[in-house]
Homo-oligomer: A and B are copies of this chain.
Amino acid sequence: MSKPAASNLLDSAVPCCPPMAQQRVGAAAATELAVAFKALGDPVRLQLMSMIASAPGGEICVCDLTPSFEVSGSTISHHLKTLREAGLVDAERRASWVYYRPRPALMRQLATLLTPAGDDLTPS
């Protein structure tokens, strides 16, 4: 559990991703970033991601996620795995329960990437 997450975007020293409105995304970067966007490209996963990202205390138990959906527990687990492998969330087992927390680094990269031309982004 909590694999290193295939993407090397997370630990890459390269600034990597200015807004796509300012610079084209190369083929290699596109392949990696598309994994993250694809992970968000499902209604269930998007809701899961939002529930994890907005969790008070910074983390949330799977047992608090599952009851919010119509789909089966195994399906939720499968979606969570997708989010994990995309590098968007991190999981940790404590006692009988598994807790998920967001990984803001990638979220911020995606947000920056989508910033339209002329928009300001988190001015220091």
Contact = CB atoms under 8 A, between A and B. Distances in A.
Q: How many copies of the chain does the oligomer comprise?
A: 2
Nearest to A112: B111
Contacts of A121: 111, 121-122
A104 interface: yes
Interface residues of A, number: 48
Contacts of A40: 34, 37, 41
Contacts of A53: 19-21, 116-117
A9 interface: no
A21 B54 contact: yes
Most buried by B among A46, A49, A54, A104: A46
Given A25-B47, A37-B40, A43-B30, A120 B122 contact: yes
